[in-house]
């Protein structure tokens, strides 16, 4: 059975004081049970201090972006080996905000994915369609293009140490969550796409849902057969909201 991953993407939010309160709220009330994992992804300047706050807890640390290069003259960039050095186990790559606002291409995202793995960090590859793409019936093509860029450059075996997050762009930060059925359809498609090349591996890959996931809708999404967790934006910034999703994850694993 696949473990559930509940990952908080803090985006460009946080401060030394706020992070202390948020992390102590989370680590003091991690739900009992097994079969799920919690992860927080703060902005770069806070990674080292949040690593300290998390030490001894069951909550893992990740980053929100990474350079495709390992070192050198890349002003303003952060390499995967640096993320590893400060205690990151995961990094988000290809979030739709980076694709849309910073013009990251699928090829560049694939290079970031590989850079993370080379440094021993698990990439969380984000894929997802815009509302216009969904309405024009091209959701699967969009997802395939984003997925294939990584499959073509890294190979299907690379997904043995990677996570995928399906995040419909129209659901991110809008309060418009995909229905469990809409999300399940795409998750199933993603798994089938990987299964064309390696069915055993495809069955093991964690596929998270992201886009206005919160305590109230988490259980309905997490009980779908191909939804293995969540990538949470807004609701990861308040301990109680994040913990409500963690509780749904613990419950969902127990029920399955
Ligand atoms: P949201 O963000 O939960 O605020 O919709 C999700 C994400 O962007 O990862």
Residue 213 Cβ inside 6 Å of ligand 1? The answer reads yes
Residue 211 Cβ inside 6 Å of ligand 1? The answer reads yes
The pLDDT assigned to 253 comes to 80
Query: What pLDDT digit, counting tens, does each position of 175-207 carry?
Result: 899 999 999 999 999 999 999 999 999 999 999
> Nearest to residue 81, comparing CAs of 45, 114, 121, 25?
121
Residue nearest to atom 6 of ligand 1 (CA): 233
Give pTM, 2 decimals.
0.98
Distance from residue 256's CA to the centre of ligand 1 (Å): 25
The percent of the chain in helix, strand and coil, each rounded to the nearest 5, is: 50, 15, 35
Residues 116 and 69: their CA atoms lie apart, in Å, by: 10
CATH topology of domain 56-208: TIM Barrel (3.20.20)
Residue nearest to atom 7 of ligand 1 (CA): 233
Residues 162 and 90: their CA atoms lie apart, in Å, by: 9
Catalytic positions: 95, 167
User: DSSP assignment, residue 78?
Assistant: -
Q: Would you list the domain boundaries of the chain?
A: 56-208
Distance from residue 176's CA to the centre of ligand 1 (Å): 11
Out of 167, 174, 178, 244, give the residue to mutate to test ligand 1, the one with the largest number of ligand atoms within 8 Å of its CB: 167
Q: Which two tokens stand for residue 40?
A: 């927080």
Distance from residue 211's CA to the centre of ligand 1 (Å): 5
Query: What pLDDT digit, counting tens, does each position of 211-234 carry?
Result: 999 999 999 999 999 999 999 999
The pLDDT assigned to 172 comes to 94
The pLDDT assigned to 92 comes to 99
Q: What is the mean pLDDT of each run of 10 residues along the chain (256 residues)?
A: 96 98 97 94 98 97 98 98 98 98 98 98 98 97 98 98 98 93 98 98 98 97 98 98 97 82
The pLDDT assigned to 256 comes to 74
């Amino acid at each position: 059975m696949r473990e559930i991953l509940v990952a908080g993407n803090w985006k460009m939010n946080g401060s030394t004081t706020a992070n202390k309160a948020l992390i102590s709220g989370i680590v003091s009330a991690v739900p009992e049970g097994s079969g799920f994992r919690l992860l927080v992804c703060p902005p770069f300047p806070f990674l080292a201090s949040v690593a300290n706050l998390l030490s001894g807890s069951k909550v893992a640390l990740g980053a929100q972006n990474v350079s495709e290069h390992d070192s050198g003259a890349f002003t303003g960039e952060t390499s995967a080996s640096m993320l590893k050095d400060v205690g990151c186990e995961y990094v988000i790559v290809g979030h739709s905000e980076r694709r849309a606002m910073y013009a990251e291409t699928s090829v560049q995202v694939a290079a970031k994915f590989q850079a993370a793995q080379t440094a021993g960090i698990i990439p969380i590859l984000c894929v997802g369609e815009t509302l216009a793409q969904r309405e024009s019936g091209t959701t699967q093509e969009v997802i395939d293009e984003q997925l294939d860029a990584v499959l073509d450059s890294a190979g299907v075996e690379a997904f043995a140490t990677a996570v995928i997050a399906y995040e419909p762009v129209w659901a991110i930060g809008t309060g418009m969550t995909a229905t469990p059925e809409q999300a399940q359809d795409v998750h199933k498609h993603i798994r089938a796409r990987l299964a064309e090349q390696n069915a055993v591996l495809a069955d093991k890959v964690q596929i998270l849902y992201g886009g206005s996931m919160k305590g109230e809708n988490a259980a309905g999404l997490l009980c779908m057969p191909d939804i293995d967790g969540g990538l949470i934006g807004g609701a990861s910034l308040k301990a109680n909201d994040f913990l409500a999703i963690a509780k749904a994850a613990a419950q969902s694993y127990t029920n399955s």
